[in-house]
Structure 1
Amino acid sequence: MGKGNHSGMSDFILLGFEEPPEHSIILFVCFLTMYLITLVANSTMILIISVDGQLQTPMYFFLRILSFVDICLTTCTIPKLLVNIFAKRKTISFYGCFLQIHFFISFGIMKDFLLAIMAVDRYLAISRPLHYVLLMNRRVCVALIAGSWIIVSGHAALNSVLTSQLSYCGSNEVHHYFCELTQLFKASCSNTFMNEFLFVSEWPLFLFGPLLVIIISYILIIITVVGMHSREGGRKAFSTCSSHLFVVTITYVPLLYTYIRPSSVDFIMKDLIMSVMFTIGCSMLNPFVYSIRNKDVKKALIKALNKRTFSLKK
């Protein structure tokens, strides 16, 4: 990333939330509260799964990784947003901008991959219960996570490096609360054909690929459940999927809204709200969805709280 590519430009101005000064405190308190809840809830989920022996299964292994990814995805953008809320000049450094792009893309797509892997895991658990332990052993789980991370990191690095090579000799204003690829394309004064071609050709694969895997997995799950002789077995099978389905819904609705809209459509407040929903809203809600609707997680949480209470009394 040579500085000659941006003609001495040292930073970008983020124009996401241009609210009146009297609203700054409200925004700051809201985002700080959501961020802290996200950190505490997901950290608690990671801790509970790590220490409870009954939760050492593939499903909870992936859930623990999901909580870690949610923490990282939120941390990519929200701390800088909190700093900029009260700043007169809401900036991010040139190098900081492209580091933010790299990590945001990495953790954002990793989350989609994880949801797809978790859908396949549920399918194997329901349709191949006798072979499930062999099919989803520890080595396979680690390989799936490592392989996914290599793919998404490579994709993120390619996008961030290519975008950093564009010229930003005109306006350095980005109409978003973080460095977002399509907004940087608009801010650039050089030819962005290759960047936009890469975005249009690769992003559908990384966006719709995991979603297609999820849809196919649940079609196969439905076929398996319909073929079950026991209604109770079918009910239990669906109950293990309900939390995952809810998380998939709240993740993909804002994601699809943001990236399916034509690039010619002007950036509006709805885009900001949807971006906030994806980056922090979903990350904050995920642990509560899995803890409220999952008996094993609730039991582990109650057990941990009882142990803590008992140790304090002693």
Structure 2
Amino acid sequence: AYRRLALVWHPDKNHGNVEEATQVFAEIKEAYETLSDAQERSWYDDHREQILRGDDAITDYGQADMGTSTSYMQTESLMRYFSATSFRGFGDTPDGFFAVYRELFARLRDEELQQSSSESEDDLLLNLNFGGPHTHYDEDAAYANGRTRGTGTGVGTGSTLRDFYNFWTTFSTCKSFGWLDRYRLADADNRQVRRLMEKENRRLREKARREFVETVQNLATWVRKRDPRYKSFVALKQQQQQMREEERVRRLAEQRAAAAEDASTYVCQAWEEVDYTFMLGKHGLLDDGAESPQFAHGELEEL
């Protein structure tokens, strides 16, 4: 079914309707990739309704007042980004892959900076940058391609795109989610009621925090899997691994050929031929009148 639909909607076969075909083809490809990945499919199945209604659930956070806690990006708002429909192509256009996710992760970073109380955490966050189309995933890969180490990455000093994804795929938020509290503790009639209120508020916070962290981590994994820069990095690593394996096989073949050639031209030296007649006779292993056997060095051990 995938191949049939892909052939029908491939942009090359829809010259008069390239824009729509490109979008539909991207959605078909996205569906296939999701179904082909067990972990991703499980995530999609568990959040299908949220993802499908993501476009309706999200507000224009660019208009939000960042001074209020309720303006923070919510789990539901992130769901729309688990879809190829959230961007248009992999160019660096305002609605393209790089601009959309660069803005999204910058938003998440800024929200964490507002809640962070650690200078080291702040430095780490400020060093993160999604980069652009020409950003290398890893400095070693850039160096292998002939670039000068430390230049042209498009990420912050001392940080690579690998660092960026490592951070977000293991993300842990600084947000308290206190705006989700159901009860105002000041309204409690007594200490017992206050403790119950605190317990319920804490439960709601922890639940929201857990869902948010899990969603951000999965989103980062989802984006990385589709990132052309990551795909190029993986392809380069596979190519390097293949070259190393071919080199290993070549060297092994050369070693075996050299060993075989040495064995075929080997000439036994006179000092290696030893007369063991006396020793064999001493132990009753030589018949009377038998000729003295000549053994090459080491052959006696087989007896």
The structure having more radius of gyration, on CA atoms, is 2
* Structure with greater proportional helix content: 1
What's the TM-score once normalised by structure 1's chain length? 0.33
> Normalised by the size of structure 2, how large is the TM-score?
0.34
Say which structure, 1 or 2, has more relative contact order (CA 8 Å, 6+ apart): 1
